[in-house]
Structure 1
Amino acid sequence: MGYDESSGVVAAAPTLQQAQDSYRAARQSFQIRHESYPIAPQPTPTPRKNATKPATQPQNFSGPKNVALEDIELVLDVENVSLKDVVRHITKQAEPYSGPWQVKWRLQPENAGLMDERVNLTAQAKFGEFVDLLTEKIKNLTGTQLFVTAFNSSRVLLVTDSYY
């Protein structure tokens, strides 16, 4: 493989594996360099005061209920918060109504950074509608379509960039 600067011709394109290896090496090198010599401070989440309210509790609430996850009303108002923290927050907000959920991320290596994508989000919606809003926002920001699947029997919420 080579590049002729005078003619601008690439003699041979890299294989997919070579391109992926090159990308990983460059990314690792970048992360190592910036870990030792930070160029700019990392942004910190700045949630608004009284921004996030707990999900609306039904009357005569006496503890956890077995409410379908997609029917739970969520309220969220955050600025500069990672996608991973948003998903963690909404599952915690739903926990009193449907029990605990484990979030699993299955992203291709090139999309692993999506979990750290920072978002500003203000919404009040049922869980299913909220997830649709969130995935649409990520698609508009990054061009990557995310899919969120709830496995009720195992209490797992799977976030993936493909249909597994």
Structure 2
Amino acid sequence: MNLAKILAISGKPGLYELKVQTRTGFVAESLIDGKKITVNLKSNVSLLSEISIYTYEGEKPLTEVMQQIAVKENKGQAISHKEDNATLAAYFKEILPTYDEERVYPSDIKKVLNWYNTLQAKGLVTDLAPAVEEAKEEAPAVEEKPKKAPAAKKAPAKKAAAKKEE
């Protein structure tokens, strides 16, 4: 599955699928109940494909973490996100042994497991492996060009004249 169209909207429970972009925002459909909502551009929206989990080696894309959960659970449901924090941390340590325990909070682990279980219930977990491979193939090597320093702005003539008089 391509997580590029799956959204987490701040203040709204669950996950949403991007349906249509509009002039003032977009229309999203809830993966939980199928209701469509309109979301304006001022809302805090996160694409699941853009989310990463901190590890000691850097950041690991959420797609890869979810793929590891799918492999561990044989594409079945993961443990409930309502388990106690110690159980969740131990489970997440099995999935991602190098996750940064100081920067990944129990609430983050709960979100990941809740999102995974939501996607699995909708049958969207089956295609996670190809999405990981496609993302790696599609990402071309982009060469960064050195940026030039911005040109110094000149002060308006009125202000410069006022400064000379003082």
For the criterion TM > 0.5, the same-fold answer is no
User: What TM-score results when the alignment is normalised by the length of structure 2?
Assistant: 0.21
User: What TM-score results when the alignment is normalised by the length of structure 1?
Assistant: 0.21
* Greater Rg by CA: 2
